[in-house]
Structures are given as structure tokens and as C-alpha cells.
Amino acid sequence: MTSNPASALFLRRLAAPLLIAMTAALAPAQAATPIDRILVVVNDGVILQSELNAAMREAGRQIQTRGIAAPDTDVLRAQVLERLILTRIQTQRAESAGIRVDDRELNEVLTNLARQNDMTLAQFAEAVRADGMDYLLLREQIRQEVMIQRVRAREVDSRVVVTDQDVNMLLATQGPDPDVEYRLSHILVAVPEGASADVRDAARKKAEGLLQRIRGGEAFAEIAIAHSDGQQALQGGDLEWRRADALPQLFALTAADLAPGETSDVIEASGGFHIVQLADIRGGPERKTVDETRARHVLIQTNAVRDDEQARLLARDIYNRLEAGEDFAKLAKEYSDDPGSKNSGGDLGFQPPGVFAPEFQVRIDQLQPGELSPPFRTQFGWHVAGVLERRTRDTTEETRRARARNAIGSRKSAEEYEIWLRRLRSEAYIEYRLPDDAEAARST
């Protein structure tokens, strides 16, 4: 089987910084050297030379796929090793919280991934192998990613709160084009919490030096791989396409003032110093509408004294009485078993498609305003339904607010995640047992 371009793109995206770091699970069996060695002790676990070797090969493959010139081996090794440490710390945290992903759950995740790429699980595995990756290793990478996602959801995302005031403030600063999308690249020179003024000054000078090199003609991606502390460093700092409201506000405001290809000045924030470059821009305002139907019904259910056939006959009698001109609201209040609409005369209000049970939706979609349906059955019982009116409603502002709320939640989650991750890193016991540079260079 040849490699499918769509699946290859998917696999490249799958190998994000987290997954590049998670090449550890099966590495010992694939080690090129007959004798392994411990490179780093991380709490009660270790990172082996074979794990670093495998992660270095995967990072190199990803860099080559993106067409970026690789940094010096020592620089790349330092970046990859740090990703391995961060991954190990997070999986240890997940395990201590009792988070496990068994083979059944893992197979469900992989099956969904395959389905998203229009493949069966067997085809997905074959595509992975055709793309030069180890399928068993990928399974373990994804298992660890799911564990990290779950511990992050429990310890980070659960604490994120988005208020109406947050939404109002974001919308007030967005301007007229909330749907515009930016493709940014990013470099972070991180500053630890509680750092001294001297440490911040040194970080600022480093960031300014990197900016001078970029403006002097060096490739942004190559500098990001070698020097950025951001999570996308090994992707050349590429943040990929993001809506303006899904970017940190500092980045969105900065990007709005850049032309494609331009690089920002150094941006100072609490976590360090940032440099962003605008690769491209697309999109713009778009009106959103939804077609809604105002329906009403009488629901007749079975009960202790009425079987299904008696319920059907009562529904037929109500339909005949409505056809003869009796008042719908009066009959609904008298007979309907739907507590949600009974007191309002069976009126279900304006609803968009997909709110009702599929059998009910199909029936009302066939009706014109003012028409009644003959009795029909759903899982809830027997219905006599009618359509009062239809309308097309502009939901642009409603959609905009929902997107803004989601974007703020994602942004706050990302910010909290970085703080949480730095805290885990600072609290962890980490002991380096690295070989000398020459020996390390030979071993990788």
C-alpha cells in the first residue's frame, strides 16, 4: 500500500511536540547500541539513551518533512531531551492520579482516528508503516497523549472559568473581522516564576538578539527549533491556522498590525518574551443564519390503563377533532402527556433542525405552516403534530459570542497549562547523567 497524502499530512500533524517526545515506550527494543544507559532520572523514572535516540530520529524526520534546516545536533538534543522530561513528568502525574488507558479504550481512540481519515483500523496501521513509522510505538505514544489530556482536563481545564464579562471584553477589542484567521510562527524565551530582574533582563537580551538574527535574514523556523522554549519549537514555532479569537490577545493584536512575512518586535508577558511572525492571513466576516420551525403537538403515551393500541386510537380521535375545527391548545392541555408543552397548548416554540427526535423532525419537515400530521409514533409515544410558522434567524452575534467563549476558554486553558507544566517541572526531582559530548554525538 502506498502512502496516502491525506494520511501522511495527518501523521505529520500527529507528531506534535508531545508526540515527538513520547518515543520512549518501545525504544529499548529498537536501540542501536547493545548496552543502554540512563541519561536522566525523573522522579521515580528514568530516560534511557535509546529513548533519546528514537526521539532524535523522529524529530529529525519531522524537521525534514517541514523543509527546515536542522540545528546543530547538540542544540536539537537539548530540545528533544527537555520534551522527553516534560512528557515523563506529565505521564507520572497522570499515573499518580489513577489515570489509565487500557487496550480497549486505546483501540477505540485509534479507530476514531482511522475513521477521521476514511480508513479502517487495519488500513490506518498500514498507512502508518508506509509512512516510515512504527505502529506499535505510535500506539504507545497515543496512549500517553490520552493520559496527558485527561490529567490536564482534571487539573487545568476544570479550573478555567469564562464569564460574560470576559466575552464582552474580547468582542469589544476584536474589531469588525472576528472570523479572520492568521498563520503565525512563535518563539518564546521563557522566564521562570518569581525570576529576578537580572534573569528577566538576560532573557530580554536573548530575545532581542534572536530578533536581530531573524531581521538579519536567518530563517525564523531554524531559530525557533534551536532556541525557543515554546511547545511548538520542534515545528519551527508554527502555530498553524488559528482564528483571531483563538490566539492570545497579545498575539492577535500584534498580528493585526503585521503584513504577511513581517516579524513583530519582542513582546513582553508574564511568562517571558515572545516573537511572532505572520506567515499568512485569510477569512473575514460571514453572516450566520438558521432556519427554525415553530411546531406544536399532542403526545399520547401508554400507561397503566392504556395500551399502545388504545393510545393510537385516542391520538386518531384527537386528530379527527382537530380536523373538524376544535381548538388545538384546548385539546393539548386536556390530553397531552408532554409536561414541557402541555400547559402552553402543545406549543414547542421555534427550534432549529436536530432538536427533535429524528422521526418527529421528518414529519414536521413535511408540513407547511397551518398543516397537521396524521398520528405517528416515536419512542415517546403517539403524536399529532402541526406547524405554526417558519423563520430564518440571523445568529451571527450568537455564534460570535459562542466562538468567543470557546476561544477564551482555550486561551485560558493554554496559559494555565504552561504555568502548571512549569510548576511540575520545578517540583520534579531531575538528575542528569549525560555522557560527554563526543560520546553523546556518537550514540545518537
In whole angstroms, how far apart are CA 398 and each of 250, 252, 355, 393, 412? 25, 21, 17, 11, 21
Average pLDDT rounded to a whole number, residues 74-79 = 93
Which residues sit opposite 38 in a β-bridge? 48
Q: Which position has the higher pLDDT, 53 or 17?
A: 53
Q: What is the pTM of this model?
A: 0.57
Q: Average pLDDT over the chain, rounded to whole?
A: 86
Average pLDDT rounded to a whole number, residues 32-42 = 77
Over residues 7-17, the pLDDT tens digits come to 433 444 444 44
Min mean pLDDT across 51-60, 169-178, 240-249 is at 169-178
- Domain extents in the chain: 5-158, 180-283, 289-393
Over residues 225-278, the pLDDT tens digits come to 999 998 889 999 999 998 887 888 788 888 888 888 899 999 998 789 999 999
Q: Which residues contact 320 (CB under 8 A, 6 or more apart)?
A: none
| Reported confidence tier of residue 175, pLDDT bands at 50, 70, 90 | low
| Reported confidence tier of residue 441, pLDDT bands at 50, 70, 90 | very low
Q: What is the CATH number of domain 289-393?
A: 3.10.50.40
Give the residue among 277, 258, 189, 193 at the shortest CA–CA distance from 230: 189
pLDDT at position 28:
40
Q: What is the CATH number of domain 180-283?
A: 3.10.50.40
pLDDT at position 326:
96
Domains 180-283 and 289-393 share a fold: yes
Over residues 303-336, the pLDDT tens digits come to 999 999 999 999 999 999 999 999 999 999 999 9
Fold of the domain built from segment(s) 5-158:
Triger factor/SurA peptide-binding fold (1.10.4030)
Over residues 118-137, the pLDDT tens digits come to 999 999 999 989 887 788 88
pLDDT at position 178:
58
Assess whether pLDDT exceeds 70 at residue 437. no
> What is the amino acid identity at position 210?
L
DSSP category for residue 344: G
- The 3-state DSSP class for residue 386 equals strand
Q: Which position has the higher pLDDT, 9 or 372?
A: 372
| Reported confidence tier of residue 3, pLDDT bands at 50, 70, 90 | very low
pLDDT at position 284:
67
pLDDT at position 7:
40
Over residues 327-350, the pLDDT tens digits come to 999 999 999 999 999 999 999 999
| Reported confidence tier of residue 195, pLDDT bands at 50, 70, 90 | confident
Give the residue among 404, 400, 401, 414 at the shortest CA–CA distance from 160: 414
Assess whether pLDDT exceeds 50 at residue 439. no
How far is 312 from 315, CA to CA, in rounded Å? Answer: 5
- Cite the DSSP H helix spans in 216-357: 220-227, 249-256, 308-323, 328-335
